[in-house]
Structure 1
């Protein structure tokens, strides 16, 4: 009998074909997540499950799935998933750490340019029928000659720095673990203390994972230190930024604009999170550029991500250590002892 594998979100046919060769596959091929109770029912007798950003798995969920051997996450950031709970129950947890890096860096630069050059506002103006040729309006801010401060110098931060090297910008960064001097030189980066980076940057780009230390790291106090009239861009995790503080800063003129591809309402693991994007942020079309978590939304990249997640699942079910393992599961215990 083939082991059952559940896929919680739509994937390419190639992924279904790979898993179906040795597994019974049950896949949600719609664009909307299954309701939580339906997902629980689907996974009750599953050996493996492939999860995505809208999902959240904790100990209670896992206790409902006594046959589960592997959770294959088709993503990089895993703060919505309780890896320790998987470990304690003898379940592998895997992710895909590298494939999202380049497309997310590309989107980050796109958001910077789109926001600071009023590209959405210009698009709306042309479509309104009022465009009669060039006029002296919608002047913006270019990247050339600007100071860009990158908060977080992980893989995506480094890739963003590489993308920005061709724009003649002054690149500074902050990270709790500074790069080696030769890497700083290679990426044309200069280390700054966090407060100094905020004070000097025309563009503050936040590319941080969500942890207890980074939760609302960009809060009202941090924003008050930013250069007046600067731009804030978040492509890391929504809850690293206090969205209500951003609303206030846009209204006061402290910030000229805010761009984001990630939002607080996505961070399921944080009980104090807001479940909606602030209305004032959504209504403010002239100072914001908001995208629906498009960081890895490149067709070929999404295929590769899901294929790697599937390979992790197959390796675990075959009794091997998955290449994307983030844990070393404890010996599985009898269901009644969990």
Structure 2
């Protein structure tokens, strides 16, 4: 009797996700809330045919060299900058993602971050918890979305979802994307003009070599004095030290982020932690721990989608979420055009 292939799940998953592999594969899964270290993942994947990867994993050439039996990496992700897809292709490994399930919850959180930052929600909450509440006072006047100009940098799925959610807020929306676009009610503008015009700049870009550090000191300097910056996309789109400098000088009115430079594992020289100036008491920041897709039903769907991709690839099929064409001859066929 042929032994079932081994699949490794590097982070804790729903019971339904594990059940999806019954009769198809043997499963080794992380049962804890904390992710395994890079070396621990490699050790568990040495004999594995399949890997369900998460944001905490860095799948580089060295990793793949130590896991020669891998046939498929099913990322429970939309962005896959932490996986060396070229190296995987050279080794005949199929890489798949979950392309669309994260879009709506990420856009929804972006709106929440905009409101929380502009309306000083964290400061108000902290004040009540520290000193109680004695009634209304003329304080914490902030920035609303209505009658503001919101600039969206990156007008792909997430950027368009943010724009759609903003349509009922009575704001002007200007947007930039590297690819020309037309959208009702949206003003297409250059990157520089989006920064110049917007009261609130929100990012909707993937992390690539071209977009890493895009929002640096120079870009922030082009923004309106007192403008707000919101990042629900990828941490390393933003130079956090430059953001902290701009907050200290007063040029930037506030920064909200769900993602941080320190978690972009595949980026050489990434910071080891969030700039301390962004987390100190009284900082004009709203920071959430990468919860853009942390909706129970959505996370379950994401995992099940990744599981389906893995089982399909192991069966010799090309999964719907495949992002590469493996070049080495394997049991997994190349993508059709």
SS in 2 for 1:209: coil
Q: What does 1:137-148 align with in structure 2 at a 5 Å threshold? A: 137-148=139-150
What RMSD in Å do the two structures reach over aligned CA positions?
1.0
Q: Give the total of aligned pairs.
A: 328
* Aligned position for 2:34: 32
Conserved in 1, the CA contact under 8 Å of 2:49 and 2:72? yes
Conserved in 2, the CA contact under 8 Å of 1:121 and 1:286? no
The structure in which a higher percent of residues are helix is: 1
Does residue 236 (structure 1) correspond to residue 233 (structure 2)? The answer is yes
Question: Equivalent of 1:199, from 196, 199, 206?
Answer: 196
Conserved in 1, the CA contact under 8 Å of 2:277 and 2:283? no
* Aligned position for 2:122: 120
Question: Equivalent of 1:322, from 319, 326, 329?
Answer: 319
* Aligned position for 1:106: 108
Mapped to 2, the partners of 1:235 and 1:113 lie a distance apart of 13
* Aligned position for 1:82: 84
* Aligned position for 2:216: 219
- Of stretches 229-238 and 31-40 in structure 1, the one that deviates more from structure 2 is 31-40
Mapped to 2, the partners of 1:104 and 1:329 lie a distance apart of 30
Moved over 3 A (4+): none
* Aligned position for 2:4: 2
Question: Equivalent of 1:248, from 241, 245, 270?
Answer: 245
Report the TM-score when normalising by structure 2. 0.95
Mapped to 2, the partners of 1:215 and 1:172 lie a distance apart of 22
CA offset at residue 54 of structure 1? 0.7
Q: Where does structure 1 lack aligned partners over 5 or more consecutive residues?
A: 334-338
SS in 2 for 1:66: coil
CA offset at residue 129 of structure 1? 3.4
Q: What does 1:51-200 align with in structure 2 at a 5 Å threshold? A: 51-180=53-182, 184-185=183-184, 188-200=185-197
CA offset at residue 2 of structure 1? 0.9
Conserved in 2, the CA contact under 8 Å of 1:46 and 1:68? yes
Q: Where does structure 2 lack aligned partners over 5 or more consecutive residues?
A: 331-337
SS in 1 for 2:168: helix
SS in 2 for 1:166: coil
Report the TM-score when normalising by structure 1. 0.95
CA deviation profile, 1:173-222 (whole Å, cap 9, x unmatched): 01111213xxx11xx21011111111111001111111111111111011
CA deviation profile, 1:297-332 (whole Å, cap 9, x unmatched): 000000000000000000000011111110111234
